[in-house]
Amino acid sequence: MNTLKTTMSKIAEIQQQERIDLGLHEVELASGFLAVLEDKTKKLELVQDELSKITTSFLDIRKKGTIKYKEAQNSVKELTAVIQQVNEMSNQLGLNAKNIQELGKAVKILDTYNRFTEKESKQYFS
């Protein structure tokens, strides 16, 4: 009976040791995954912070661009009205409007602006 008791005790000790070893292995695995999880979380936080800064800068630039675009639109309206007035006045005076340098320059700038707005500004500024 003593031998059976000793044998059972030894088996119990071995099983207990296997459980402890297996438990330690699981803890080591969990620790490894936790380290990877922590590392990936830190990387994501850094990227998220950078993205937040970029987004803030982008929104600020877009806001400023939108304000300037609206100012430009007002200037275009004003310049267009002045060009029309100069054309009408030159016709009334019998002058050739094409000979007025300032008018040519204004028309050229207006044409350049209009080409820009047709191609690019509408997608950036609302």
pLDDT given for residue 81 in this prediction = 93
Joined tokens for residue 61: 């630039």
Cα separation, 5 vs 122, in Å, equals: 89
What is residue 78's predicted lDDT score, i.e. its pLDDT?
A: 93
| pTM for this model (two decimals) | 0.53
User: Which whole-number Å values give the CA distances from 18 to 14, 21, 31, 53, in the listed order?
Assistant: 6, 5, 20, 52
* Total number of domains in the chain: 1
Q: Which two tokens stand for residue 74?
A: 């007002």
pLDDT of res. 99: 84
As averages over each run of 10 residues, the pLDDT of the chain (126 residues) reads: 62 58 58 78 92 92 89 90 89 85 89 77 57
What Rg do the C-alpha atoms of the chain give, in angstroms?
Answer: 40
Which tokens hold the place of 52?
Answer: 């937040």
